[in-house]
Amino acid sequence: MAEYENTGGKSEAPNASRRVFFKQSSALAALAMTPPAAMTAVANGLDEKVAAAFEQMPLHVEINGTMRTLAIEPRVTLLDLLREQLHLTGTKKGCDHGQCGACTVHVDGQRVNSCLTLAMTTEGSQVTTIEGLTPGGPDGPLHPMQEAFIKHDGFQCGYCTPGQIMSAVACIREGHADSPEEVREYMSGNICRCGAYANIVDAIMDVKKGGARV
């Protein structure tokens, strides 16, 4: 520390240097996906504005049966694309860490946590959200799983319900609904703080036994 004792009011230089280092390191890490614009920003000392320098890239994806041609930043998650850009707010943002399942959607028929899925990875795919699950759109008849959730009161506050329903449909399609125990195992990635688990299992088993096409 002796070399910093007589710096004439510049004793914070080491900390300042570390801050600059970490800021610049973060900026450089971001360059991997969008070099030109971000490099210009860093070169001009605008590292705090690197986020605004990300280039938008084209994305072609079918969402709820409609082909979309979009321009998005490569770092945008599927969840944020759905909610913020397309205003499909039925898909909920819960933990934003892939732990609660509230953001579950289907990509090419497979359930995924949209908060952990980069939107760019869905290029050319078919994405289905809770809004697209209802045949005929918002004014059409309810999906059998939606009807079963209502019948068995499979929700309370309802926040987790879209993700629960999307996972429940996938659970049957995947062949993992032959018993209540199996349903509990394969629905364990969806958390319900209200504790409606028993009713959710009943709803899924009802749809499974009824043989309705999901």
pLDDT of residue 212: 86
Residue 40 confidence (pLDDT): 57
> Cα-atom radius of gyration of the chain, to the nearest Å?
23
pLDDT digits (tens, 9 = 90+) for 168-198: 999 999 999 999 999 999 999 999 999 999 9
pLDDT tens, 32-42? 555 555 555 55
- Domains, the chain, ordered by start: 9-53 (no CATH), 57-133 (3.10.20.30), 144-210 (1.10.150.120)
CA distance 7 to 155: 65
pLDDT at 42: 52
Q: What is the pLDDT of residue 44?
A: 57
What strands lie across the sheet with 126-128, from one edge to the other? Answer: 66-72, 57-63, 126-128, 104-107, 110-113
The rounded distance, in Å, linking the Cα atoms of 211 and 44 is 63
Ranges of the chain with pLDDT below 50 = 1-12, 30-31
What is the per-residue pLDDT for 136? 74
Q: Which amino acid is at 188?
A: S
